[in-house]
Structure 1
Amino acid sequence: MSKLFKIITLLVMAGVFTTSAFAHQQRAAITKVLFNKNTGNLEVMHRFYVHDTEHAVQMIFDKNADIISSKETQEQFAQYVADRFAIKPLNGPELKLDMVGYEIDRQFIWVYQEIKAPENIEGLTIIHNALRDIWVDQINTVNVEGRGELKTATFVGNIELLNVELDKE
């Protein structure tokens, strides 16, 4: 009986450790699209959890990829995000965002992009598939600010394209 109890205890403990290892993954990202009146730019700031990206880069690039210590991996991840995010005016061509940079700030990795804000824009069509190509439960939320009330677009499930109407200037 004692041997059976030890085996059951070991199996339960293994399950607890496995569950807690996966519990830290948030599989959620926030992106802020800001119409900055001071600079005249449309600024895009993507925020991902470092813990999520640690797992993701090893799946996407290389099992030895290191998002925390490797500038090369950080740069690869920033480009990966830029390649999977697109934004355009409702009735216009895609905006070719410039990569501004990236940084790790505590538990987050940030990726920054920008472009001169288009004039007379009534709304945006947005695509945000970063990490959604590897995790079906990844949720990417985009907040659009600087043109009236905050507008939010949430990419979940099979949603690949969302429109946001902007307040008149």
Structure 2
Amino acid sequence: MTGQDGERRALAALEASGIGFEITRHGPVRSLAEAAAVRGVEPGDVVKSLVVRRGDDDYLFVLVTGDRAISWPKLRALLGVSRLSLPDAGTALEVTGYERGTITPFGSLTAWPVVADERVRGRRVSIGAGAHGVAATVDGDDLARALGATFADVTQDAAPA
């Protein structure tokens, strides 16, 4: 699948969701801070869409603000499981249709459940839109509602880079 296919799927899903969004396109970036700058937002307003594996053919998306990282103990407690993992890049592509750096729940090959960290709530956020250098700025509450996401405290401070 090409980035163009991914972008098409993500944009179609965003349009079908009925939420307001603004698309930003930019060239290659080397860091989350750089992505935030070219999108005109703060790093904490960039939402990372992470694919998490619960079990065989059982995944979910976890939406994490750019200044945070998954807290594995919090996420395991929320989901009531003892083990979780991040799939390798090939598996993530296989189960979402998106390569790393372009993953979004919008237009994913499978509509996996979504957990949004509570810090997504009540703010404008920028989320990937299916291709490198393409993002959608949306209201965090609308984002969660459109994806049927559960808000929960599932993150911790990101380790310094």
Q: TM > 0.5 between the two?
A: no
User: Rg: which structure is higher?
Assistant: 1
Say which structure, 1 or 2, has more relative contact order (CA 8 Å, 6+ apart).
Answer: 2
In terms of fraction of residues, the more helix-rich structure is 2
